[in-house]
Structure 1
Amino acid sequence: MSSSQNETDLDALRDHFGREMCRLRQRAALSRNQLAAALGCTPQWLYTLEKTDKTVPEQMAFDLDTYFKTEGWENDDGLFHRIYGAIRRAGQHRVMRPSFESYVQYEAKAISVRCFATQVVPGLLQTEGYARGVMDPNEPLDIQEARVVGRMERQAILTREKPPMLMFIIDESVLRRPIGGAKVMVDQIDHLIGMTESPCVQVRIMLFERITSVALGGGFILLSFEKDADLIYAESGRLSQLLEDRDTVFKAGVDFDTLMGEALSQAESIELLRRTREVYL
């Protein structure tokens, strides 16, 4: 689906949400002031939602379903929440790079993920606070929110019945970069330490002083599958690519093994994480 089509769908869904809210309000013979009082918000806020000028909050969808008792509201699956879900999905398509959208689909099917991260904590390991911290503040809030939600939803592969094997090599600079501030970094480092308790997760730190040409080449992610060929995903600035060329993927696998040999062991990495955590307290 093209970017312009996604934007059209998103705008249409927001319009649908606003029109349904207006329709049910008028059918109940309620003024905007009366409905706002019942929902605990301002009439101006309802006006902006009816005119599709604002991002639709999930709680508002729940509140409208509960108030109007739309079909399925008892199971958190009422009319407004269903529209909200469609808006969120359309928003995620809108904000994803085409190659990353494809990557996410493959990631969900992978039996192993090998990631070398040089700039930020890998998305599969990010806390919500950290994910918000890496968002571009110049982007509209709805786009930022869609990206955060999408990132958190990707992490469902960590708790599925048969999670993939996950190996992360994180450059030490990532830990020293105070994304979101001290509190966010403490929470993020705690989360990294906690993730290492899973038998399916390895987290290794690449020290500053361990200079290798492979590490200077930038981050990448390798996906392996039960039957299909491996894939490599790489980003540079605003560019991204998903590759399946056998030679390229093979060389990336060799590079990852080299990086694993240069990085700290998991036990040493946990100790470094704990020491780094103290710096942010």
Structure 2
Amino acid sequence: MARPPKELTPEKSVEDLLGSKIRKLRLARGWEITELAAKVFVSPGRISSIETANDPPGRDLTLKLEQVLDAKGALLELQTLIRAEAFKNYAQRFLRDQASARSIHEFSPGVPGLLQTAEYARALMAVSFTDNPEGLEDSVVRRTERQVVFDGGNPPWLWIVLAESALYQVHDRPEVMVKQIDHLLAMSERPYIHVQVLPLDQPAVPGSISLLTLRDGTRTAYAEGFHTGTYYQEPDDVDRLQRGYDHVQAGALDLDASAQVMRNARRKHQR
């Protein structure tokens, strides 16, 4: 006997409302999930995830659903609201996926969170928590706790392109930078962690780019600027950010030369 479909509560979230509308439109046409899936070229499981509000569709898939269900713009409007809500909490889903990713490729103008020492993270975030020291400490703990992914039996493959300026800009005290660079060098000795330095005379891109390959092979991308960020899952968006990453990596030093630049920067902070 087939399991009854999950009961949705459209008033609970925009995701539930979107899933409910898609289910109603499908049922109004007398289609099974497999029929709708075939019409928009996805798996039945994907449609099930959408209808149960577990994994809302991206813009491209929403447009296909709009067309085959003749939704007259209602689905796209809801999907736009979901994207807007996701933007408010822009890092949450990225950080969740990063924690279980198979590989991570990143360009960063500063030392990325997965390779930060607690002292460096504290100095970096202190400006945002001038009147909330407890909040600062909580944020530092959460950031450093993410690094536990490297201590398990199946760590992600991490490849970082780091802007050279990050090695010379002092956060808090020179001693903080010495310890941070030591940590970068030590982590780079692990066979699954690689750090390339992008020299000052090479072109970069604004903000940071993170490319994830998830355990099931799905590719996603995250781009971040000053207090803003967007998590991309549509293939065209991921490809666009991949090209940006490839551009900066092409100008980066090799691993040995990068390690030497890090050691040079360390000596400068010791003077």
Check whether TM > 0.5: yes
1:176 is aligned to 168
Identify unmatched segments of 5+ residues in structure 1.
1-96
> Within 2, Cα distance between the matches of 1:248 and 1:266?
29
- C-alpha RMSD of the superposition: 1.3
Identify unmatched segments of 5+ residues in structure 2.
1-87
Residues 183-222 of structure 1: pairs in structure 2 closer than 5 A: 183-211=175-203, 215-222=204-211
Q: Give the superposition deviation at 1:242.
A: 0.9
Structure 1 segments, 4+ long, off by >4 Å, are none
Q: Give the superposition deviation at 1:139.
A: 4.3
Q: Give the superposition deviation at 1:254.
A: 2.5
Residues 27-66 of structure 1: pairs in structure 2 closer than 5 A: none
2:216 is aligned to 227
Q: Which amino acid aligns with 1:260?
A: Q
Cα-to-partner distance string for 1:166-209 (whole Å, 9 max, x where unaligned): 00001011111101210000000001111110110110000011
Q: Which amino acid aligns with 1:191?
A: H
Q: Which amino acid aligns with 2:92?
A: E
Residues 95-244 of structure 1: pairs in structure 2 closer than 5 A: 98-118=89-109, 120-135=110-125, 136=127, 137-211=129-203, 215-244=204-233
Cα-to-partner distance string for 1:109-160 (whole Å, 9 max, x where unaligned): 1000111001x21000000110111112424011111110001110011111
Aligned pair 1:268/2:260, yes or no?
Answer: no
Q: Give the superposition deviation at 1:100.
A: 1.1
Q: Which amino acid aligns with 2:209?
A: F
Q: Which amino acid aligns with 1:229?
A: T
Identical-residue share of aligned pairs (%): 30
> Within 2, Cα distance between the matches of 1:146 and 1:247?
36
Q: Determine helix, strand or coil for the equivalent of 2:201.
A: coil
> Within 1, Cα distance between the matches of 2:135 and 2:104?
27
Q: 1:237 to 1:217 in 2, by over 3 A?
A: closer
Cα-to-partner distance string for 1:27-47 (whole Å, 9 max, x where unaligned): xxxxxxxxxxxxxxxxxxxxx
